[in-house]
Chain A
Amino acid sequence: MSTPTQTQSETRTKPEGKIARVRRLWNDHLPIWFIAPMATVMVLITFFPGAYDLYLSLIKEPTLNVFAADFVGLSNFSTAFSRGGALHSLIITITVVVSALILESVLGFVLAALVAGVGSGRVKSFYRVLFIIPMAVAPVSLATIGRIMLNSEVGIIPYVINSATPFTAPAFLSKMPLLTVILMDTWNWTPFMFIIFYAGLSSVPDTLVEASRVDGAPLWRRYVHVIIPYMKPVVFVATLIRMIDLFRTFGVVYGLTQGGPGTATQLVSINIYEQMFVNNQVTVAAAIAVVYLIMVVALCNIVIAKVGFDGVWD
């Protein structure tokens, strides 16, 4: 039996060492420590640039000294839409995104279906390589080559049209600039859709296709009722990725037209670039970027929520 004095000394908490304290801190908050590195990375690459962009959009002149900044409310947003052409560039961007997405998806699927239907492995391989080539061209190179090829005086495309057809070549970049940039983007990125759709087609079980054939379904019915429904997740993911990428389009269009003539092909990305680096309107550029960021994120979430989970990801 111990004396009262002994009991007190035994139950008194011993002074905790540094290592023990760190260990306890580590053990008590284990999930936080595992999440922390990723959270830090996310803050650095996502939250900080976004917050800084928002800060720039709310001040009069760019300054790194936050405490000396002159906050002007929504004035830059107002300027962006009244003088900065924000609405016009949004409309142009949506036109390009929708048109190119439809064209690239349809063409990519058709090409994939055609190549998938080829019997010879060597021929298949040849087409796969052939169709992938345009995607390997860097946007700036593509724009430079495109400008030369489409030049009405020294370009090969107008030359071929003029000399080999009864038609006169149009002035691609000045009379039909929007269509030209959409077609150029389609040429550049249809291979991306082709690759994914081709992989999707390859994953459709032969038994399904064979069964529908035995049932007497013609080719188009096999595609509409068997193959495409089976490929729904692939189609959705491919178009979602491509849609997000199209919203970021810059290099090819800027290289081809610089957003012109006038502002006929001025995508939001080009508008932001010009406000920032040509007009030196950093705060207006930031305001457009904020609106654009919110719009694209919202749109993508709507697409994922309304389309993505409807029989695709559920």
Chain B
Amino acid sequence: MNGKHNRRTFLTATSAGLLTSIAGCTRGGTGSDDSANTDSKSDGGADIPLKKYQQADIDWKQFEDSKINIGAVQHPWVDAIKPAVPIFEKLTGIDVVWNILPENQFRTKRQTDASTGAGQFDVFFMDQVVNQYRHEGWLQPLDPYFDDSSLYDESWYHPGDMFDASKWQAHGGGYSDKWTGLPITVEVQTQFYRTDLYEKHGLTVAETLDQFRQNAKTIHEAESDIAGTVGRGQKGYGMNIYILNTFLREFGTSLWTDFPNNSGLDTDGTIDAAKWYVNLLKDYGPQDASTQTWSDVLTTMQEGRAGHIVADANLFWPDLTGSDSKVGDKIGIAKAPKPADGQFSPNAYNWQISTSKNAKNSKQGFLFMLWATSKPTNTWMHLNNDAAFSVRQSVWKNDEFRSRVGEDFAQITLDSLKAAKPDPFDRKYPQWGQQYSEELQRAIAGQKSAEAAMKKAATVAENIYSG
């Protein structure tokens, strides 16, 4: 053994040891928020017949008596799938160990795991940094596994059932022709409005941006203590720009009209979209619109302090219409508005699960990914475990699911997901996306004009690639 190998082995082992010792580990099975970081063996809460999986031409038992580590954020998907995991363990003989952490901590741990080559996680949650990870060579494309007949059966898996937007984002959002992971959840932007206020002021639900603004104006001026609209103004790539990206596409432009030379952020369409969003919030939004996060806008709507909003359907609907909301029975849902001459293309966001180059049990991990996103598991999660983020069209069309979540919500979400255009996260998106969102926040706060903000954002984004 040479010194280099010793050093590498030592570093890998040390990193893995540290990660293991720090991570909160759980095993497969039922879990609740309280028990998220405790060792609780499954109770086999799910009742999915094994034959639904055994019908597949897949050798489920080929890795019997092995174990996989899953790195995950504290997310409803984890809560929804954990009761079904004993089915997977029984089907495959693979033991599932969860490592569940708050989102920011998880991001740090994931980066350490991937960049040091520790390979502790066989499967992990993946988000906007997918192309950075792919570009750095930390991610493992799943295509070889799809080509392995002992691991994959297309006729059973039905990949065509997944939304195109979800599959597209799982292929690096157009930056890769290979599977970078499998999508597990999707959120799409829709419009929520106060039915009582709309009725009181004789408003019709907005289909266009002009109508949306007009409705906001009417409510803002007529109601002394209610803002016409509310929206994310806070910086961050899941915040203000996530909403604005819907509108800039509807204004006929997109991000990176010529990658990596032209960011598209200073095109007329982007500037017009930014002006529209900034003015909407400044004129008819809350006073502190520039600092509102998604949870702030949710609270404002729940408290009945705003007329309407564009936000993530699946994320907001249960909270807006549930018992925590003061206006639970007065919330309507509709498609996001678009310009009169624009194309409806709401933004959407997918979480996916991936495997790293250094994972020791990637094949086992792939079996888990396949099982977790398969029709039987996905349908069970959505019918029996309160999930409402399916990446499969069949779930949104399922009558039992539609009666559970509401016909309007299901149909509007389905239509929106079919038309959705998620953000394409290039490898340096975290860098320029953050500064793009800072510039937009400055405009919403009134520190500069929307046009100046977008031009600055364009310069920043292009400079990051040019040097």
Q: How large is the interface on A (under 10, 10 to 19, 20 to 34, 35 or more residues)?
A: 20 to 34
Q: In the complex, what's the smallest C-beta–C-beta distance from A274 to chain B, in angstroms?
A: 7
Q: In the complex, what's the smallest C-beta–C-beta distance from B356 to chain A, in angstroms?
A: 16
User: CB distance B108 to A277 under 8 Å?
Assistant: yes
Does A153 sit within 8 A of B, measured CB to CB? yes
User: CB distance A171 to B441 under 8 Å?
Assistant: no
8 Å CB contact of B447 from A62, A64, A261, A277:
A261
> Given A152-B286, A280-B129, do A262 and B447 touch, yes or no (CB 8 Å)?
yes
Interface string of A257-278 (1 = CB under 8 A from B): 1111111100000000010011
> Given A261-B444, A280-B129, do A64 and B116 touch, yes or no (CB 8 Å)?
yes
Cα A151 to Cα B293 with chains together (Å): 11
User: CB distance A277 to B291 under 8 Å?
Assistant: no
User: CB distance B305 to A154 under 8 Å?
Assistant: yes
Cα A291 to Cα B296 with chains together (Å): 36
Does A174 sit within 8 A of B, measured CB to CB? yes
8 Å CB contact of A261 from B111, B115, B431, B441:
B441
User: CB distance B290 to A278 under 8 Å?
Assistant: no
> Given A260-B235, A279-B434, do A153 and B447 touch, yes or no (CB 8 Å)?
no
> Given A153-B303, A261-B441, do A280 and B447 touch, yes or no (CB 8 Å)?
no
User: CB distance A83 to B303 under 8 Å?
Assistant: no
User: CB distance B129 to A260 under 8 Å?
Assistant: no
Cα A170 to Cα B445 with chains together (Å): 13
Interface string of A14-54 (1 = CB under 8 A from B): 00000000000000000000000000000000000000000
The interface residues of chain A lying within 8 Å CB-to-CB of B15 are 64
Cα A99 to Cα B55 with chains together (Å): 70
Report the nearest B residue to A279, measured CB to CB: B431
Does B132 sit within 8 A of A, measured CB to CB? yes
8 Å CB contact of A147 from B296, B303, B460:
B296
Cα A232 to Cα B111 with chains together (Å): 49
User: CB distance A64 to B11 under 8 Å?
Assistant: yes
- Of residues 415 through 467 on chain B, the ones whose CB sits less than 8 Å from some CB of chain A are 430-431, 434, 438-439, 441-442, 444-447, 460, 463-464
Does A182 sit within 8 A of B, measured CB to CB? no
Cα A230 to Cα B322 with chains together (Å): 63
Report the nearest A residue to B8, measured CB to CB: A65
The interface residues of chain A lying within 8 Å CB-to-CB of B438 are 260, 262-263
User: CB distance B300 to A262 under 8 Å?
Assistant: no
User: CB distance B434 to A261 under 8 Å?
Assistant: no
User: CB distance B306 to A278 under 8 Å?
Assistant: no
A interface, by DSSP: helix, strand, loop or mixed? loop
> Given A175-B445, A258-B236, A260-B235, do A278 and B430 touch, yes or no (CB 8 Å)?
yes
> Given A152-B288, A174-B287, do A262 and B11 touch, yes or no (CB 8 Å)?
no
The interface residues of chain B lying within 8 Å CB-to-CB of A173 are 288, 291
The interface residues of chain B lying within 8 Å CB-to-CB of A65 are 7-8, 11
Cα A83 to Cα B442 with chains together (Å): 17
Does A281 sit within 8 A of B, measured CB to CB? yes
User: CB distance A83 to B430 under 8 Å?
Assistant: no
User: CB distance B235 to A62 under 8 Å?
Assistant: no
Cα A281 to Cα B8 with chains together (Å): 24
Does A223 sit within 8 A of B, measured CB to CB? no
User: CB distance A174 to B289 under 8 Å?
Assistant: yes
Report the nearest A residue to B12, measured CB to CB: A64
Does B299 sit within 8 A of A, measured CB to CB? yes
Does B227 sit within 8 A of A, measured CB to CB? yes
> Given A154-B303, A277-B107, A278-B430, do A261 and B460 touch, yes or no (CB 8 Å)?
no
- Of residues 196 through 251 on chain B, the ones whose CB sits less than 8 Å from some CB of chain A are 227, 230, 233-236
User: CB distance B234 to A258 under 8 Å?
Assistant: yes
Does A187 sit within 8 A of B, measured CB to CB? no
Cα A83 to Cα B230 with chains together (Å): 32
Cα A153 to Cα B115 with chains together (Å): 43
B interface, by DSSP: helix, strand, loop or mixed? helix
Cα A159 to Cα B129 with chains together (Å): 41
The interface residues of chain B lying within 8 Å CB-to-CB of A83 are 460, 463-464
The interface residues of chain A lying within 8 Å CB-to-CB of B35 are none
User: CB distance A154 to B441 under 8 Å?
Assistant: no
Does A55 sit within 8 A of B, measured CB to CB? no
Does B104 sit within 8 A of A, measured CB to CB? yes
User: CB distance B299 to A154 under 8 Å?
Assistant: yes
User: CB distance B303 to A257 under 8 Å?
Assistant: no
Cα A177 to Cα B108 with chains together (Å): 28
User: CB distance A174 to B291 under 8 Å?
Assistant: yes
Does A81 sit within 8 A of B, measured CB to CB? no
Residue among A258, A261, A279 having the largest count of chain B Cβ atoms under 10 Å? A261
Does A292 sit within 8 A of B, measured CB to CB? no
Report the nearest B residue to A256, measured CB to CB: B291
The interface residues of chain B lying within 8 Å CB-to-CB of A177 are 291
Report the nearest B residue to A284, measured CB to CB: B431
User: CB distance B300 to A260 under 8 Å?
Assistant: no
The interface residues of chain B lying within 8 Å CB-to-CB of A236 are none
The interface residues of chain B lying within 8 Å CB-to-CB of A151 are 286, 288, 296, 299-300
Cα A253 to Cα B439 with chains together (Å): 19
Interface string of A134-165 (1 = CB under 8 A from B): 00000000000001001111100010000000
The interface residues of chain A lying within 8 Å CB-to-CB of B444 are 174, 261
Interface string of A60-85 (1 = CB under 8 A from B): 00111100000000000000000100
Q: In the complex, what's the smallest C-beta–C-beta distance from B274 to chain A, in angstroms?
A: 14
- Of residues 275 through 296 on chain B, the ones whose CB sits less than 8 Å from some CB of chain A are 286-291, 296
The interface residues of chain B lying within 8 Å CB-to-CB of A175 are 287-288, 445-446
User: CB distance A258 to B460 under 8 Å?
Assistant: no
- Of residues 273 through 307 on chain A, the ones whose CB sits less than 8 Å from some CB of chain B are 274, 277-281
Interface string of B125-151 (1 = CB under 8 A from A): 000010010000000000000000000
Report the nearest A residue to B108, measured CB to CB: A277
User: CB distance A262 to B227 under 8 Å?
Assistant: no
The interface residues of chain B lying within 8 Å CB-to-CB of A64 are 11, 15, 116
Q: What are 25 contact pairs spanning A and B, CB under 8 A?
A: A62-B115, A64-B116, A65-B7, A65-B8, A83-B464, A151-B286, A151-B300, A152-B288, A153-B230, A153-B306, A154-B299, A170-B287, A171-B288, A174-B287, A174-B290, A174-B445, A258-B234, A258-B236, A260-B290, A261-B442, A262-B442, A264-B447, A277-B107, A278-B434, A279-B434
Question: Other than the known A260-B438, A261-B290, A262-B445, what 4 A-B pairs have Cβ atoms closer than 8 Å?
Answer: A158-B287, A170-B287, A174-B233, A174-B445
Q: Which residues of B approach A to under 8 Å, CB–CB?
A: 7-8, 11, 15, 104, 107-108, 111, 115-116, 129, 132, 227, 230, 233-236, 286-291, 296, 299-300, 303, 305-306, 430-431, 434, 438-439, 441-442, 444-447, 460, 463-464
The 6 A-B residue pairs with the shortest CB-CB distance in the complex, in nearest-first order: A261-B445, A262-B442, A152-B287, A171-B287, A174-B290, A171-B288
